[in-house]
């Protein structure tokens, strides 16, 4: 039940430990970490800069988390997303979910990532080693990944 | 007062631009007066695009442009209302 | 591409860091941690003892990992399972998968857990605070969770 | 040699028991001579159960008993062959 937007990196081990706390009803914790890859469509990456929409980003992440909490009975959840300039190998996002049994934690983490990818107002700009730079195009798969969660 | 031209529902709004929309616009935000004829988000895009120049350039590929009203996602059919803040941006690519 | 069976606890943060190494093709890491809950069907838990089948356990875990590597193109994977006596809040199992994009890492981690739950030869014996003890029954859902991965 | 009773394919196997099967058997392993008439895993269960005593007790609810031959899962139809090691146990509950 926590959303953070930050420039700094995060410590996954410490975050998962804090998420769990001393809640002994938690039997399953799922984490997703997204990180900057070294090779992208256009070539070798020097760095990636994440622009975002201050204000809307936080509220959109909270909406996504609220929706996950409505759909699955989670004991705890966490979304951390970074912004600013990151290098290959650096972490971008951490999503973690905790529940009594594994199915709910897995589904909720996937749901949060799918929604985040198509709704949270972040934009990636890649700078390649050869000096070129450009905005990353949205992946077609991300829209369809979001759509599988639609309830009628 | 009755002598003044009445434009009921014409409103001044702050518009924000992000990512390549911001770059093509050459600025991150501005105040714009939106005429009363603009009722929906779709109308707004049409209105802005018709201003030409950087607007026409930034909104050239208008089907990919996303719009948020007061920091909430809006579709083309969403009624514009009286938002304090409008944002135009490309599809998001975080995560 | 690593399977470990151990009595000792593990450090999730350190394990995920080692899993990633300096592989810059990894864009997504999914982890699942299973832990001992404090309340079970019969009451408050004092401890849980995991019996296993030495030899078969390791080979079964390796088979499961191999199958995951065949089905999804993973950059790295890890299965750690503990045995012996554990207390509420202690971790039992860690499964982690790494891939360029998130869908594969998520699916592979779920697959490994579903298979592990129905194929790895471990048996849990619970000791309750009131002194009673007994073997945990297999959950019906675990069999059906495995079956959704069947290829025809 | 021809005077000795021939039981081709009768074999001595190590049988392991786990979890409550082990508890009901009162031991974790033993050597058992398996007669030639036992061809499948299903036959083996039937043979062991027919020995009565702790075998009948441990295998009472036989449909839930799982069997591994040389550390690999086997179904009731699996041919027994000449395994070095057979294991009987309840459904697994790890993870």
Spatial CB neighbours of C152, under 8 Å, sequence gap ≥ 6: none
Are C50 and D94 within 8 A, CB to CB?
yes
The 10s digit of each residue's pLDDT in A83-112 is 999 999 999 999 999 999 999 999 999 999
Q: How many domains does chain A have?
A: 1
Give yes or no for residue D4 having a pLDDT over 80: no
Print the domain residue range for C50: 2-131
In a domain, C125, yes or no: yes
Answer yes or no: pTM beyond 0.90.
yes
d(CA C2, CA C58): 11
Are B94 and A59 within 8 A, CB to CB?
no
Residue A121 near residue A57, CB atoms below 8 Å: yes
In a domain, A123, yes or no: yes
**Can you tell me the mean pLDDT for A60-71?**
98
In a domain, A54, yes or no: yes
The whole-number pLDDT of residue A41 equals 84
| Lookup: tokens for C2 | 């690593």
In a domain, C11, yes or no: yes
The whole-number pLDDT of residue C150 equals 85
The whole-number pLDDT of residue C152 equals 64
d(CA A79, CA A109): 10
Residue A133's nearest CA partner among A123, A141, A143, A142 is A123
CATH number for the domain including C65? Answer: 3.90.1170.40
- Please state, as a whole number, how many other Cβ atoms lie within 10 Å of the Cβ of residue D33: 9
Give yes or no for residue D5 having a pLDDT over 70: no
The 10s digit of each residue's pLDDT in C21-70 is 999 999 999 999 999 999 998 899 999 999 999 999 999 999 999 999 99
Average predicted confidence (pLDDT) for chain C: 95
**A145 close contact with C: CB closer than 8 A:** yes
Classify domain B11-89 by CATH number: 3.10.20.30
Percent of chain C exceeding pLDDT 70 equals 99
Give yes or no for residue A55 having a pLDDT over 50: yes
The 10s digit of each residue's pLDDT in B51-87 is 999 999 999 999 999 999 999 999 999 999 999 999 9
Q: Looking at beta carbons, which residues of chain A come within 8 Å of C97?
A: none
**Can you tell me the mean pLDDT for D61-82?**
97
Tell me the residue length of chain B: 95
ipTM beyond cut 0.90: yes
d(CA B6, CA A136): 45
Q: Between B11 and C16, where is the model more confident?
A: C16
The 10s digit of each residue's pLDDT in C61-82 is 999 999 999 999 999 999 999 9
Closest-CA distance of chain B to residue A73, Å: 24
Q: Best interface-test mutation with C: which of A12, A15, A136 has the largest number of C CBs within 10 A?
A: A12
Domain ranges of chain B: 11-89
């Amino acid at each position: 039940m926590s959303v953070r937007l930050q420039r700094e990196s995060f410590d996954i081990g410490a975050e998962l430990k804090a998420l769990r706390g001393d809640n002994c009803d938690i039997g399953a914790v799922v984490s997703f970490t997204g990180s900057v890859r070294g090779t992208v469509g256009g070539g070798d990456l020097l760095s990636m800069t994440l622009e975002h929409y201050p204000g809307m980003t936080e509220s959109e992440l909270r909406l996504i988390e609220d929706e996950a909490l409505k759909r699955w009975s989670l004991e705890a959840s966490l979304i951390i997303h970074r912004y600013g300039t990151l290098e290959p190998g650096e972490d971008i996002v951490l999503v973690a979910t905790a529940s009594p049994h594994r199915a709910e934690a897995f589904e909720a983490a996937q749901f949060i990532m799918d929604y985040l990818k198509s709704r949270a107002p972040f934009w990636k700009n890649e700078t390649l080693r050869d000096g070129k730079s450009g905005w990353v195009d949205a992946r077609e798969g991300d829209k369809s990944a979001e759509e599988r969660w639609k309830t009628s | 007062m009755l002598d003044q031209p009445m434009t009921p529902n014409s409103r001044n709004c702050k518009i924000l631009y992000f990512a390549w929309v911001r770059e093509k616009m050459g600025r991150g935000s501005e105040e714009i007066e939106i005429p009363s004829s603009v009722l929906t988000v779709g109308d707004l895009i049409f209105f802005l695009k018709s201003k030409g120049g950087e607007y026409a350039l930034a909104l050239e590929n208008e089907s990919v442009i996303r719009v948020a009203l007061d920091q909430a996602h809006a579709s083309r059919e969403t009624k514009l209302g009286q938002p304090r803040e409008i944002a135009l941006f490309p599809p998001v690519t975080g995560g």
